[in-house]
Every structure is written in structure tokens, then in C-alpha cells.
């Protein structure tokens, strides 16, 4: 990248190919650790724990949710409290109250569950309600570099699914949010800030949003267009990305 924060025009010009992009930033798991060290969150929630590699990046108290959870011993580190829920995220939010565990709300959330946009949309809606105004929500796989991995059905190899649709959805329906893309390989991170736990816009318009975006493909939308939707933060330059992140 020519600059740490890429403009709309620059993003389109920088794409190696109109349908492909290779991210050259810090690998996302390493970036999550750097984010933890910079922000020092007191509480963390993640959806899509599986083997616990993302959980391992955070030493604070944590809630982790996955219907097929297999975290290893190193996932727990020196953390005092880890609350593991081997269930779907929909089931978790229907039966559990995050604020009974974290009364002040979740400081940082990482959403990496089912790779279909309507699932991530519900996860975002439910997670935002458990956050506070200064919280961060990071979403994985929303910044894919090619259309081949963005189908609704796993292709048998790398799969990002169509969760990239959260970028245009949040940009359109939640202009009050502070949104950035982060260039972490392999499929980027999508950062949402200035959250509003009382917002009901997405929940109220959920069915309309699904109807509007259901047939949209990245092939039609365009990788270059996705790159130009929001500012891109260079994960390699801490002096840039850290300006956009709080300390707790």
C-alpha cells in the first residue's frame, strides 16, 4: 500500500487485479494479540472459537461460543475466567445474558462464526446489545481477496462465505458507526466502533435487509468496489491503527 490509510480512489488503483487482492498486512491472529496489548480490554467475547487460536490472543476474562468447541490448553493462558458455551450463537443469545457476566458490557468482540451473512448480521445485532459505546467489534472474513472463496457453500478449501456483505449493509443502514477495513491476511478484518446498544435499526429491518442482499454476489459487486467502500488501515503501522483504537 502507498499509505497506511487508503482512500477510495487509491484502493481501486492499488488492486493487483479487479477480481483479486492479496493482503500484505499482519496475519490476523498476530494482529489480535497486538490489539489486546494496545487496548488492554477487561472483557472479551468471541463467536467461532473452535480450536481456541483467537481466544489465545486475549488474556482478559472471556466468553467463547462455538457449537463444536475444541480449545487447547494454551487457549486459556493466564486468564482468570473463561466461560465456554458449546452451542450456536443464536442459541446463546436466546438463553444467556452477557451482562450477568460482564455488567459493564463487552470491551472487545471477535465474530468468526457461520460464514453466511445473515448469521453474521444476527451476531452483530446481538453482540452490539452486549457492548458499550467505547467497545470494538471485529468481524473476520469480510475483506476477501477473490470471489472464488465467497460462495454460500464451502468449496472444499479456504472459505470466507458471503459475510463480506456486512460491509455495504452496515455502511448503508448504520451510518452512525465508525467503520474500517484492516488488511490482515488472509481475508481481512472489519472493525466497527461507536456502537449503540440501544439501536434497533438492524433488528427492525432484518427481513428487508436479507431480501435486499440475498442475491448479491461479490462477482457482481466487485472486489475493487468492496475495497473502496471504507478506509483501509495498514495493520503493519501501529502509529496509524492505534489512533483509531481506545485503551480500556
CATH number reported for the structural domain that contains residue 148 in this entry: 3.40.50.150
In a domain, 187, yes or no: yes
| Helix segments in 96-137, DSSP class H | 98-101, 117-129
In a domain, 128, yes or no: yes
φ and ψ of 154, to 5 deg:
-55, 130
In a domain, 7, yes or no: no
pLDDT of residue 19: 56
pTM confidence score: 0.91
In a domain, 226, yes or no: no
φ and ψ of 211, to 5 deg:
-65, -35
In a domain, 41, yes or no: yes
Max Cα separation, the chain?
A: 48
Task: Annotate 187-200 with b (16+ C-beta within 10 A) or e (fewer).
Answer: bbbbbbbebeeebe
In a domain, 234, yes or no: no
**Average pLDDT along the chain, 248 residues, taken 10 residues at a time:** 39 45 91 97 97 96 96 89 97 98 98 97 98 98 91 86 97 98 95 98 98 96 92 94 94
Structural domain harbouring 191: 24-219
Number of domains in the chain: 1
pLDDT of residue 176: 98
Distance CA 45, CA 81 (A): 12
Amino acid at each position: 500500500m502507498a499509505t497506511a490509510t487508503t482512500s477510495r480512489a487509491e484502493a481501486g488503483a492499488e488492486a493487483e487485479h479487479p477480481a483479486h487482492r492479496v493482503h500484505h498486512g499482519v496475519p490476523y491472529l498476530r494482529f489480535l494479540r497486538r490489539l489486546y496489548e494496545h487496548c488492554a480490554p477487561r472483557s472479551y467475547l468471541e463467536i467461532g472459537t473452535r480450536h481456541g487460536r483467537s481466544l489465545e490472543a486475549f488474556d482478559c476474562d472471556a466468553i467463547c461460543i462455538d457449537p463444536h468447541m475444541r480449545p487447547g490448553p494454551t487457549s486459556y493462558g493466564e486468564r482468570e475466567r473463561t466461560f465456554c458455551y458449546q452451542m450456536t450463537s443464536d442459541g446463546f443469545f436466546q438463553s444467556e445474558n452477557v451482562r450477568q457476566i460482564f455488567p459493564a458490557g463487552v470491551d472487545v468482540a471477535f465474530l468468526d462464526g457461520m460464514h453466511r451473512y445473515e448469521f453474521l448480521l444476527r451476531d452483530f445485532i446481538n453482540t452490539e446489545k452486549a457492548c458499550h459505546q467505547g467497545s470494538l467489534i471485529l468481524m473476520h472474513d469480510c475483506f476477501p481477496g477473490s470471489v472464488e472463496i465467497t460462495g454460500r457453500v464451502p468449496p472444499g478449501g479456504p472459505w470466507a462465505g458471503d459475510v463480506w456483505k456486512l460491509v455495504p449493509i452496515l455502511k448503508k443502514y448504520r451510518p452512525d458507526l465508525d467503520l474500517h477495513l484492516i488488511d490482515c491476511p488472509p481475508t481481512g478484518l472489519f472493525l466497527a466502533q461507536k456502537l449503540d446498544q440501544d439501536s434497533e435499526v438492524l433488528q427492525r429491518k432484518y427481513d428487508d435487509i436479507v431480501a435486499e442482499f440475498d442475491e448479491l454476489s461479490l462477482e457482481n459487486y466487485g472486489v475493487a468496489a468492496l475495497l473502496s467502500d471504507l478506509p483501509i488501515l495498514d495493520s503493519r503501522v501501529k502509529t496509524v491503527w492505534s489512533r483509531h483504537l481506545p485503551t480500556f
